[in-house]
Amino acid sequence: MRGEGGEEAPLRETMAALFLRQCGYRGDEPVVDPMCGSGTIVLEAAEMALGLPPGRGRRFAYQDLAVPVAAPAAPAPAPRDIALRFTGADRDSGAIQGAGANAARAGLEEVTTFLRQPVSELARPEGPPGLVMVNPPYGGRIGNKRQLFGLYNALGAVLLERFSGWRVGIVTSEAGLARATALPFAETGPPVAHGPLKIRLHRTDPLP
Ligand SMILES: C[S@@+](CC[C@H](N)C(=O)[O-])C[C@H]1O[C@@H](n2cnc3c(N)ncnc32)[C@H](O)[C@@H]1O
């Protein structure tokens, strides 16, 4: 979970990392999240690509304990130099502002782009194909079921039309919503607790 932005329950960084890994992400492809909220997926992918240690911004209570330290901490690894871009979009301007602020706090502005736009305007970035990873609204907290099915259907249509060669990972709480995308899912992951919900990853191979 990043500091700011996103109207709806953000994913924790650890969950974003888990779902990226389940999609086979190794940090060597671009990543796009068309409904990025606070930007957790995009920022986590950028950190993985740069080789930055997970949780480097987090502090733990034990760090303030006054105990003798046996050996100096290992120096942080130098970030890799990469040419990849990590792109998030969201129709909500507060989410985009928050994602940008989170990127700045994490020192990731140079490799990330956040755009305020609805999914209908999503464009394929120039360059090699990569991974679209998205955690759309689940319902319960927003909208009605019919709107949600329409949203997932529109997302699937945009990806099938514009993202040939890219892999897709969709994280959602209902298999029916994932099916509404009409994407050719290769695998569905195990359930993962997310507040009161159980969410799963639905992933494709490269789209035709
Ligand atoms: C569950 S939240 C994503 C949370 C995000 N993974 C995070 O960790 O912060 C879903 C997001 O979808 C966005 N959204 C809903 N409908 C959209 C649309 N038609 N186009 C773009 N974004 C949309 C919402 O504004 C919201 O930020």
Q: Report which ligand 1 atom has the smallest distance to the Cα of 5.
A: 9
pLDDT of residue 65: 67
Each residue's pLDDT tens digit, 97-147: 999 999 999 999 999 999 999 999 999 999 999 999 999 998 765 557 888
pLDDT of residue 30: 97
Looking at ligand 1, which residue's alpha carbon is closest to its atom 14? 35
User: Structural domains in the chain?
Assistant: 13-52+80-204 (3.40.50.150)
Q: Cβ(30) to ligand 1 under 6 A?
A: no
- Asked if 153 contacts 133 with a C-beta cutoff of 8 angstroms, the reply is no
pLDDT of residue 138: 85
- Asked if 44 contacts 13 with a C-beta cutoff of 8 angstroms, the reply is yes
pLDDT of residue 83: 85
Find the 79 Cα to ligand 1 centroid distance in Å.
29
Each residue's pLDDT tens digit, 133-151: 999 998 765 557 888 999 9
pLDDT of residue 190: 96
pLDDT of residue 5: 47
Find the 18 Cα to ligand 1 centroid distance in Å.
19
Find the 92 Cα to ligand 1 centroid distance in Å.
8
Q: Cβ(41) to ligand 1 under 6 A?
A: yes
- Positions of the chain with pLDDT under 70: 1-8, 54-65, 67-81, 140-143
Find the 115 Cα to ligand 1 centroid distance in Å.
12
Q: Cβ(174) to ligand 1 under 6 A?
A: no
pLDDT of residue 9: 76
pLDDT of residue 6: 44
